[in-house]
Structure 1
Amino acid sequence: MTQIRFDPALPWWAIAVLAGLAALVAGFALWRGLRGWAWRGLAALAACAALAGPALERGTRAALSDIVVLLDDRSSSQQLPGRPAQVDQAVAELSSQIAALPGTDLRRVTLGDGEDGTALATALSRAIAAEPEARLAGVIALTDGRLHDAPQLPQGLPAPLHVLLTGQPDDWDRRLVIEEAPAFGLIDQEVTIRLRVEDQGTVPEASRTGSVALRLSVDGEDEQTFAVPMNTSLTLPVILGHAGQNVVQIALDTAPGELTDRNNAAAVSINGVRDRLRVLLVSGEPHAGERTWRNLLKSDAAVDLIHFTILRPPDKFDGVPVSELSLIAFPTRELFLERIDDFDLIIFDRYSVRGILPPEYYMNIARYVEEGGAILVSAGPEMASVESLHLSPLGRILPARPTGRVIEEAFLPRLTDEGRRHPVTAGLGGPDPDAPDWGRWLRLSQVTPTGDAQVAMTGAEDAPLLVLDRVGEGRVALLTSDQVWLWGRGFEGGGPQLELLRRIAHWSMKEPELEEEALLADIRDGLAVTFTRRTMQDAAGPLQVTAPDGTVTPVPLVPDGPGRFVADWTAPEPGLYRLADGDMRRVLALGPAAPREFEETVADAPLLAPLIEASGGSVQRLSDGIPDLRQVRAGRAASGSGLGGPWIGVTPRDAATVTGLERRPLLPAWVWLALVAGLILTGWLAEGRRRAA
Structure 2
Amino acid sequence: MTSSIVFDPLLPWPLLAVLAVIAALGVLLALWRGLPGWLLRALAAVVLVGALAQPSFQTEDRAPLSDIVLMLVDQSASQTLADRATDTEDAAQALAARIVARPNTELRRVDIGDGEDNTGTLAMAALNAALAEEPRARVAGIFMVSDGRVHDMLQAPDLPAPLHLLHTGRQGDWDRRLIVKSAPAFAILGEPVTLILRVEDDGAAPGDTLSEMRISIDGDTPQSFDVPIGEDIEIPVTLPHGGLNVIQFTLPEAAGELTDRNNTALVQINGVRDRLRVLLVSGEPHAGGRTWRNLLKSDSSVDLVHFTILRPPEKQDGVPVTELSLIAFPTRELFLEKIEDFDLIIFDRYKRRGILPAIYLDNVRNYVEQGGAVLIAAGPDFASADSIYRSPLSAILPAEPTARVIEEAFRPKVTDLGHRHPVTADLLGQETWGRWMRQIEVDPLEGEVVMTGVDDKPLLILDRVGEGRVAMMASDHAWLWSRGFEGGGPQLELLRRLAHWMMKEPELEEEALWAEPTGQTMRIIRRTLGDSVGQVTVTRPDGTEDQVQLEEVAPGRFEAVYEGPEIGLYRLAEGDQSAVVGLGPASPKEFEETIATGDALQPLIDSKRGGVVALQDGLPSIREVRDGRPAAGRGWLGITPRDAFETLDVTKTPLLPAWLVLLLASAMIVGAWLREGRS
TM-score (norm 2): 0.82
Equivalence for 1:515: 509
- The answer to whether the aligner puts 1:650 opposite 2:639 as a matched pair is yes
1:343–1:46 CA distance, 2 compared to 1 (3 A): same
Equivalence for 1:103: 104
Q: Unaligned regions of 5+ residues in structure 1, if any?
A: none
Partner of 1:560, secondary structure, is strand
Equivalence for 1:181: 183
CA contact (8 A) 1:50 1:672 kept: no
Partner of 2:266, secondary structure, is strand
2-side partners of 1:619 and 1:348: how far apart?
A: 77
Equivalence for 1:625: 618
Deviation at 1:108, TM superposition (A): 1.7
2-side partners of 1:182 and 1:105: how far apart?
A: 53
1-side partners of 2:574 and 2:321: how far apart?
A: 54
2-side partners of 1:24 and 1:110: how far apart?
A: 74
Letter paired with 1:308 = F
CA contact (8 A) 2:481 2:489 kept: yes
Partner of 2:425, secondary structure, is coil
Q: How does 1:21-100 map to 2 (within 5 A)?
A: 21-26=26-31, 28-29=33-34, 45-51=42-48, 52=50, 56-100=57-101
Partner of 2:445, secondary structure, is strand
1:289–1:569 CA distance, 2 compared to 1 (3 A): same
Equivalence for 1:331: 330
Equivalence for 2:347: 348
2-side partners of 1:321 and 1:415: how far apart?
A: 51
Equivalence for 1:172: 174
Deviation at 1:588, TM superposition (A): 3.8
Percent of counterpart pairs with the same letter? 53
CA contact (8 A) 1:47 1:672 kept: no
- The answer to whether the aligner puts 1:606 opposite 2:595 as a matched pair is no
2-side partners of 1:568 and 1:289: how far apart?
A: 45
CA contact (8 A) 2:168 2:616 kept: yes
Deviation at 1:405, TM superposition (A): 3.9
1:493–1:9 CA distance, 2 compared to 1 (3 A): closer
Q: Deviations over 1:28-63 (max 9, x none)?
A: 54xx9xxxx7xx666555555555366654444433
Q: Unaligned regions of 5+ residues in structure 2, if any?
A: none
Equivalence for 2:443: 446
Letter paired with 1:94 = L
Q: How does 1:99-498 map to 2 (within 5 A)?
A: 99-115=100-116, 116-155=119-158, 157-204=159-206, 208-217=208-217, 219-221=218-220, 223-284=222-283, 290-311=289-310, 328-352=327-351, 356-357=355-356, 361-362=360-361, 364-379=363-378, 394-396=393-395, 398-400=396-398, 402=400, 405-409=402-406, 415-428=414-427, 438-439=435-436, 441-449=438-446, 453-457=447-451, 464-480=458-474, 497-498=491-492
Deviation at 1:475, TM superposition (A): 1.8
CA contact (8 A) 2:69 2:105 kept: yes
Letter paired with 1:213 = M
Partner of 1:145, secondary structure, is coil
Letter paired with 1:456 = V
Deviation at 1:121, TM superposition (A): 1.7
1:493–1:152 CA distance, 2 compared to 1 (3 A): closer
Letter paired with 2:419 = R
Partner of 2:498, secondary structure, is helix
2-side partners of 1:237 and 1:613: how far apart?
A: 46
1:575–1:340 CA distance, 2 compared to 1 (3 A): same
TM-score (norm 1): 0.80
1:634–1:359 CA distance, 2 compared to 1 (3 A): same
Deviation at 1:512, TM superposition (A): 3.0
CA contact (8 A) 2:274 2:301 kept: yes
Deviation at 1:197, TM superposition (A): 2.0
Partner of 1:426, secondary structure, is coil
1-side partners of 2:399 and 2:324: how far apart?
A: 30
Deviation at 1:619, TM superposition (A): 0.9
Letter paired with 1:509 = M
CA contact (8 A) 2:60 2:648 kept: yes
- The answer to whether the aligner puts 1:558 opposite 2:551 as a matched pair is yes
2-side partners of 1:220 and 1:160: how far apart?
A: 51
Letter paired with 1:85 = T
2-side partners of 1:501 and 1:14: how far apart?
A: 94
2-side partners of 1:266 and 1:600: how far apart?
A: 14
1:653–1:355 CA distance, 2 compared to 1 (3 A): same
Letter paired with 2:121 = T
1:468–1:648 CA distance, 2 compared to 1 (3 A): same
Partner of 1:610, secondary structure, is helix
Deviation at 1:467, TM superposition (A): 3.2
CA contact (8 A) 1:216 1:225 kept: no
CA contact (8 A) 2:378 2:440 kept: no
2-side partners of 1:593 and 1:377: how far apart?
A: 45
CA contact (8 A) 2:434 2:481 kept: no
Letter paired with 2:438 = W
2-side partners of 1:68 and 1:392: how far apart?
A: 91
Partner of 1:279, secondary structure, is strand
Partner of 2:600, secondary structure, is coil
Partner of 2:332, secondary structure, is helix
Q: Deviations over 1:153-196 (max 9, x none)?
A: 134x3432110112332222222222233333333333333222
Count of residue correspondences: 663
1:390–1:223 CA distance, 2 compared to 1 (3 A): farther
2-side partners of 1:7 and 1:168: how far apart?
A: 61
Deviation at 1:565, TM superposition (A): 1.9
Letter paired with 2:645 = A
- Of structures 1 and 2, the larger Rg is shown by 1
Tell me which moved more, 606-615 or 173-182. 173-182
Partner of 2:419, secondary structure, is helix
1-side partners of 2:324 and 2:443: how far apart?
A: 31
Tell me which moved more, 247-256 or 323-332. 323-332
Deviation at 1:331, TM superposition (A): 2.7
CA contact (8 A) 1:70 1:106 kept: yes
Deviation at 1:570, TM superposition (A): 5.7
Pairwise CA RMSD = 4.6
